[in-house]
Structure 1
Amino acid sequence: MSALGRLGQLVTTLFVASVLIFVAMQVLPGDPAEVLLGMNADPAAIAALRTEMGLDRPLVVQFTSWLGGVLTGDFGVSATYEVPVSSLIVERAVVSVPLALLAVTISIGLALPVGIFAAVRRGRGADRAAMGAALIGLSVPNMWLGLMLIYVFAVLLGVSPAGGFPGWEVGIGRAFGALWMPAVALALPQAAILTRIVRTSVVEAMDEDYVALARAKGRSVAGAVIRHALPNAWAPILTIIGLQFGFLVSGAVVIETVFSLPGIGRLLFQAVSQRDLMVVAGVVFVLVAAVVVINSLCDLLAAWLNPRQRADLGGGS
């Protein structure tokens, strides 16, 4: 698929996502105005709030207005915080974005060497040990892992804060000191998945004739893997890395709550609890858009790294 075709697919996906998000907000039980004012509120006050929130307008008008705001970065005003939703998202993103980047870095940093090592030692004890460890990591819920990290490093050893975020103004060291445990809790299950994908992809590439030819010319196993097998194994690895951003988004809702981090995930949890539909819709759309865009970029990068697909980026299908 050409780059233009991928862009059209991206826009279509985001539009469909916006429709689904809006529909989901409409079918949720309960009246947002009634939830905000309380069950015993005056009906006239509830009706006035519904008018203020635009809930009494036709659904088509509501959707058109909301979509127009999304295209300009205006997600409306939070009924709970009484501030623009976009400012809430930006404020919380300074915690969630570094957390996600740190988690991805840890995941890739663990998965690549372990997966490659297991592939090179396939069928041996080291391979079985690495895959066994990956299976254990895959089976551990990140919420339980987060609680265990708090117990060990905050309660028993006292070397890390149990939760909260001091802010970037206190220094990068203290800020990342509050993020490393939640990042590890998010990263380890994803690293386990990625390790197995790296191993499988490298093993398949190592069985190709060009790797055998490189070995016949005297190149070492490590050299053949790094120079020939790994570049041709990147496509499925990058695809999984892109997909993992979606799991990081869903996991962040739990992990940010466990560690009391003022991030986007916790904001979404609070907005759902408070029935703040504007915040829910805005946050969900931003998260969906981030996942879709990152997956598209990973697909483009994987295609660019594959010489057989690189020509398709300029045109054709």
Structure 2
Amino acid sequence: MRRITTFFILSFFLILSGCQLQESQVGEPPQKEWSIALHGGAGYVSKDMPEDRKEAYMQSLEEALAIGSEILENGGTALDAIEKTVNYLEDNEMFNAGKGAVFTAEGKNELDAAIMDGSTLNAGAITGVTTVKNPISLARKVMTDSKHVFFAADGAETYADQTDVERVDPSYFYTERRYESLKRAQAEEQSSSLIETDDQKAWKYGTVGAVAKDKNGNLAAATSTGGMTNKRYGRVGDVPIIGSGTYANDLVAVSATGWGEKIMLNVSAHTLAAYMEYKGVTLQESMNYLVDDVLEPGDAGFIAVDKYGNFSMKTNTGSMFRAAADSEGNKEVAIWE
């Protein structure tokens, strides 16, 4: 009798466990083989932008997206996809990174970048470099080839000397459009007006970034920037601060763009990831919490991809150059909300 009772008890628990397992499997979202999202900066971009310039931005976003998508579709890693995508954006002077970097108050171009591998929680970051053509590639070498995570200014340049990353004369980064932006920023800074204009707000914005999930399920995030127009001596923004402008783990990969100081103060990229993990909410719910509840209107925008291949892109600045695609054929390329 005791054996029969034990048998029925064990059977009951096995059936119960099976039901719970089935419920958990049913609750799991479908997996996309791969997914990628990218941004080219968030801020105050007028919808009255000349049509030819708008088309140029849209085409650039399409081309950047195609680079990363092809790598992922062919079985490449998330790290390769985001590095090559960001390389393209760094070489495109329409964006505030690499060739299109803005100027500091001293009239220099100082570049920051960071990359993070969600599968290992390893990361690499650099700040204040002036001769590295593609800062994100140097950041990746910091992650993979050094014992450290973060190199700054002269130290980052010295580390670059020990690598094969492409170097350029600082004059390579000069663009007339960015130099004119510096002069306008400095002129308006002298204004006695207590009301911050849209142009003044725009000095704070601009970055490029990419996040991706590959066919092996790995997530990665990368961000690169020329920083803030008219920034002061030695200023470091959110981009190379792991957890602020760039973060990835085995749940989600995040890249930020916007007002760096606000992004840093809220440890924004990690906040999104932590909210997902500890609240057990979806990527979109966590994105909404960060952009709508944590940050204030006009602060920032974010792109993210989760472990299921879902992507989310959202800003509270009015506009964000962005694009995303996945293995299911979903695709989005946009500028305004």
TM-score in terms of structure 2 length: 0.24
TM-score in terms of structure 1 length: 0.25
Structure that is richer in helix per residue: 1
| Bigger Rg over Cα | 1
Structure that is richer in strand per residue: 2
